[in-house]
Amino acid sequence: MSFIKVTPEYRPQIALIELNRPKELNALNLELMGQLRDALQELDKNDTIRVIILTGNEKAFAAGADIKQMAGKSAIDMLNIDQFSTWDQIRKTRKPLIAAVSGFALGGGCELAMTCDMIVASETAKFGQPEIKIGVMPGAGGTQRLTRAIGKARAMEMVLTGEFISAYEAKAYGLVNKVVPVEVYLEEAVRLAQKIAAMSPIAARLAKEAVNRAFETHLDEGLHFERKNFYLTFASEDQKEGMQAFIEKRQPKYKGK
């Protein structure tokens, strides 16, 4: 079963990857992430492609990691599944990667958008790290990338309250590059991709590497720390309660245990 749709020649030199689990708001299960990694690696090797656009649908870019897939897992299960090694490979995509975001970009969805090099958002986009509401915390780079992108105070508020920000707030905070009406967000991403595709692909690759180098200095330690703490939340009763409450569509009762 395919959870993504890949159009290598969406436009000349521009590939499009669409996340395609609409009923689950593109929740990022392990299979989807594996398919996304494979598609990106394939497109990275394809000399006719210069820029890749990653999108969801109007209602959701992605509503986060798949809670139903994670809910019953232990900390050691999570450690063994090692889902974030796939994310590390995605992070190594060499070609410029643009996220075209409409609707929900939450939890892992927000983290996936931030893993891309630039974000074009529709006016309806909502960004958030609501993991705290289900008894866990961001695990795919949220505490690190969001903090670097929008600063400590705003990131802390988003991560500790789980509240969403609008597309215009995200633009004002420097998280997204452009905000446009929902009817044209994909076209706007294409326009940006076309500008980049017109540049030397070698220069683009080297420039991307250089920008990321600046961004990632001292990041590894933070990601490592975050990951361990993310796994550790799976040792708590509150994680089980939070995820179970989500699935049963009720309010969670946290014990702080």
Q: Burial of 162 by CB count in 10 Å (0-12 exposed, 13-18 middle, 19+ buried)?
A: middle
What is the rounded CA–CA span in Å between residue 66 and residue 81?
A: 14
Count of residues in contact with ligand CAA, rule CB under 6 A: 21
- Interface residue with ligand CAA, options 55, 93, 142, 189 (CB under 6 A): 142
Residue 134 as a binder of ligand CAA (CB under 6 A): the answer is: yes
Compute the least distance from the CB of residue 252 to ligand CAA, in Å. Answer: 12
Using CB under 6 A, pick the residue from 56, 64, 96, 135 that binds ligand CAA. 64
Give the whole-angstrom CA distance, residue 233 versus residue 257: 10
Sole binder of ligand CAA in the list 17, 52, 67, 150 (CB under 6 A): 67
Q: CA 111: distance to chain centroid? A: 3
Our finding on whether 130 is near ligand CAA (CB under 6 A) is yes
Segment lying near ligand CAA (by CB under 6 A), choices 33-41, 94-102, 126-134, 214-222 = 126-134
> Should residue 25 be labelled a site residue for ligand CAA when binding is judged by CB under 6 A?
yes
Catalytic residue numbers, as ranges: 65, 108, 111, 131
Distance spanning both ends of the chain, measured CA to CA: 38
The residue among 56 and 96 lying less far from ligand CAA, judged by its C-beta, is: 56
Residue type present at position 14: I
Rg value, the chain, Cα: 18
242 lies in the binding site for ligand CAA (CB under 6 A): no
What Å distances lie between residue 144 and 166, 215, 222, 243, 249, CA to CA? 20, 10, 7, 23, 30
Tokens linked to 112: 């996936």
d(CA 110, CA 101): 9
Nearest-angstrom CA–CA distance, 104 and 26: 9
**Taking phi first (over 0 means left), then psi (-120 to 50 degrees means alpha), and beta for anything else, what does residue 180 get?**
beta
Q: Among the candidate windows 59-67, 145-153, 165-173, 204-212, which touches ligand CAA by CB under 6 A?
A: 59-67
Nearer to ligand CAA, 14 or 62 (CB): 62
Examine residue 104 and tell whether it contacts ligand CAA (CB under 6 A).
yes
DSSP of 89-145: HHHT--S-EEEEE-SEEETHHHHHHHHSSEEEEETT-EEE-GGGGGT----SSIIII
For position 107 contacting ligand CAA by CB under 6 A, the verdict is yes
Q: Is 226 in the site for ligand CAA (CB under 6 A)?
A: no
24 binds ligand CAA (CB under 6 A): yes
Separation between Cα atoms, residue 28 and residue 104, nearest integer Å: 13
Of the pair 27, 167, the CB lying nearest ligand CAA is at: 27
Task: Tell me the closest approach of the beta carbon of residue 130 to ligand CAA, in angstroms.
Answer: 4
**Using CB under 6 A, which of the segments 33-41, 99-107, 146-154, 177-185 binds ligand CAA?**
99-107
Residue numbers at the binding site for ligand CAA (CB under 6 A) = 24-25, 27, 63-68, 104, 106-108, 111, 130-131, 134, 138-140, 142
